[in-house]
Amino acid sequence: MLQLQGTWRYHLKSEFDKPYFRALSKFVYSQYSEQICYPPIDQLFNAFNSCSFEAVRVVIIGQDPYHGKGQANGLCFSVNKGMAYPPSLRNIFKELELDMKLSIPESGDLTKWAHQGVFLLNSTLSVRSNQAGSHQKQGWENFTDQVIITLSEQKTDLIFLLWGSIAKNKKKLIDMSKHVILESGHPSPLSANRGYWFGNNHFSKTNALLSIKGKSEIKWGSF
């Protein structure tokens, strides 16, 4: 069965014996044995392994992994080093450049964000090659919703960045008396070109909020 490691496993242990998670595990293993799927199975929980429960300060919620060869690495919006930037990631970096006056990073691997406490969670953690959304509604959403609920209940002063309608639908899972939510359109070209993404200033706003709480700012650049 699929397993989490570290303290995440302790905080989410009640999920692993639920029927939906057992069915999800069976589905995922069958898909990876019969199909080409992404990210590599040992990176399914990379978002968790790269950012411990205790370290989480900022949460960014994506949809599902990139479905092209060699792209997905288990962190939402992130691609492996050496891969071309997908359109959404390119627009994220363009907004970073506008907002923080930082050069666009040379790599699209967002691991350095994760290591600073930015939890990069996709709603669905796996996908079949070249078939966007192919692992949706199999149980991943149940699990990742519970992850958000657990973070909301057990931590304080988190900053949730909700980009686009799917992420915004998670708002109901978050206790807004304890946490801050910043919302905008999705960084995809369709949304960004309509004026719903650029100028949201989420990177500088996040750092300002962290500073108010006496926490160190995220170094969004310098990849």
User: Which residue is associated with the tokens 């993404």?
Assistant: 197
- The CA distances from residue 24 to 15, 46, 59, in Å, are 11, 18, 24
User: CA-CA-CA-CA torsion for 185, 187, 193, 197, nearest 10 degrees?
Assistant: 50
Q: Which residues are catalytic?
A: 64
Question: Peptide bond before 40: cis, by omega within 30 degrees of 0?
Answer: no
Q: Which residues contact 173 (CB under 8 A, 6 or more apart)?
A: 145, 148, 149, 152
